[in-house]
Amino acid sequence: MTEHAERAERLALELDSAFRNRADLYRLMLEELSAELGEAKAEEVLVRAIERRGREVAEVAFARFGPNDARAIGEAFLAVSPDDGRMYPTDVERSDSHIAFKVRRCPLKDAWLAAGVAEGTLATLCRIAGAFDRGLFEATGVRFDNVTWTPGHGTGCCHICLTDRDA
* pLDDT value for 148: 95
Taking the CB of residue 7, how many other CB atoms lie within 10 A of it?
A: 11
User: Would you say the pTM of this structure is higher than 0.75?
Assistant: yes
Handedness of CA 118, 39, 51, 22 (dihedral sign): negative
Fold adopted by 3-163:
Muramoyl-pentapeptide Carboxypeptidase; domain 2 (3.30.1380)
For the segment 111-125, what is each residue's pLDDT rounded down to a tens digit?
999 999 999 999 999
Taking the CB of residue 22, how many other CB atoms lie within 10 A of it?
A: 14
For the segment 38-47, what is each residue's pLDDT rounded down to a tens digit?
999 999 999 9
Return the half-sphere exposure (C-beta side, CA atoms, 13 A cut-off) of residue 119.
7
* pLDDT value for 1: 79
- Whether residue 82 is predicted with pLDDT greater than 90 in this model: the reply is no
Burial of 110: CB neighbours in 10 Å, binned 0-12, 13-18, 19+: middle
The domain spans of the chain are 3-163
- Report how far residue 86's alpha carbon sits from residue 106's, in angstroms, rounded to the nearest whole number: 10
